[in-house]
Amino acid sequence: MRVVRIGHSRRGDISLVSLEGEFDFHDVTHASDTIGAFIDAGARHILFDLKGLRFLSSGGIGYFIQTAKRLRGLGGEAVLASVPDSFDWVARTLGIDRVIRMFPGEAEAMAHLRGTDVSAGAPGGPAQASP
């Protein structure tokens, strides 16, 4: 039985993936299949909206890191928005925020993804404003 619900919409070239419920190791395969299909279809910028999550396990955290690295290798980026307070503290303490960028809300994350010059090719580097 899945305890996480995955929603998906597109905003231009950005895939908005909302997660609701509890995201633990049991859900990683489902998420990997679902979101992997988006990536296989050409998605390169994914915003994970976490405002609907009640629980996030280490397996879920690992999935976000793996996806961020995969997208970076393809010239894209994954970011987290509306991160629950409990995970925000853990992510910053463990340095996860250096692997996948985190934003307080969807608007800030969208602005970052729209302003990132992926053609410049600096994986993990700072965002660059478009001219």
Q: What tens digit of pLDDT does each residue of 51-102 get?
A: 999 888 888 999 999 999 999 999 999 999 998 887 888 888 888 889 999 9
Residue indicated by tokens 């302003």: 115
Spatial CA neighbour of 76 closest among 113, 48, 45: 45
Q: What is the pLDDT of residues 89-117, one digit of tens each?
A: 888 888 888 999 999 999 999 999 999 54
Q: Is the pTM of this model over 0.85?
A: no
The predicted pLDDT at position 2 comes to: 61
Query: Rounded to a whole number, what is the distance in angstroms from the first to the last CA of the chain?
Result: 48
The domain 4-120 having CATH identifier 3.10.180.10: the answer here is no
Contact by Cβ (8 Å): 128, 119:
no
- For residues 25-36, average pLDDT: 90
